[in-house]
Structure 1
Amino acid sequence: MTMLAAVAVTTATFFGMEFVAWFMHRFVLHGPLWFLHRSHHVRHPHNFERNDFFFLFYGSLSMLLIVFGSPTHDFRFWMGVGIAAYGTLYFFVHDVLIHGRLRFWRKSRNTYLRALNMAHKIHHKTTGRDGSEEFGLLWISPKYFRLALRRPAPTRVIKSRSATAG
């Protein structure tokens, strides 16, 4: 497989995963697998949720594609790489930035990331199986961009030592 074809397959898989994630979230997680996904929509004191097990499905799929495609680096290998890349971005955007499950990346002043955060908060406004909107990760409705542009990002005030010592 040529490098151009490998990049094309990886990129197409990466962006295709956004549709897969939206579809699965909308019709499967908020459908027959709600009993697992519900843990993500309610407050709880635990570090992990039943919803976290979904990474096993996509991680296993990615791993199998990479393993079986490795001998010849055929399309399966590059599809596995695309799924892994999407999963990595998903982890950093969804779990770290939006939900703050690891505290090394605080809220962003970037308009896109703020709009993404707003859309996700709207999704979580309903704690039930029905009535949610905004099921994707990277694609969000334009109304959230307009909202993020209208509401300026909060400014960060850094207190000087002399101001806090007195």
Structure 2
Amino acid sequence: MQRSGGCVPDEIDVRLYTWMVLNGLSRIHAKGVVHCDIKPDNILVFPTEHDGIYQLKISDFGLAKELSEAATDEDENLGTTAYMSPEAVAPRGEIVTALDIWSLGCVVVEMITGRDAWPCLASVTIVHLMVTREKTPKIPENMPETGKDFLSKCFERDPRKRWSAQMLLDHPYVSGG
């Protein structure tokens, strides 16, 4: 995987890397923290002793918030627009782990396609689509059905129904089940 995102050609690697990020998110969320800025630039990639296999780690906790902390007017930046969930761009409510799960879905789309989940759209257009038209990123057609189902769980518009990192770790797309 490139330092700042891009296409991961082997879907087995996409599944493995997604599992690694989910594992990290599960641990972060269990400590009562929401990262609030999951994107390729904040996922560090380390080579391993196995040729072509990398270890991924979540970095840059500069926007992280405590779980259920009420967002304030000062929290105008709850992430990077192209990776933000609808509730992150809508009028502020509670900080919930679902913010990170939506962002993870955007990262997975980018690993599959090599393009942003919202390709060629300005930040203001993305916000408009999510808030006024209730749109979600397009799920890549070339994904297997388990992958499409996985992303549908990440892109559930209702954050209360969006799967948690722990639930997604058991999803067949990443668990191999």
Common fold: TM-score over 0.5: no
* TM-score, normalised by the number of residues in structure 2: 0.28
Indicate the structure with greater helix content: 1
Indicate the structure with greater strand content: 2
Larger radius of gyration: 1
* TM-score, normalised by the number of residues in structure 1: 0.29
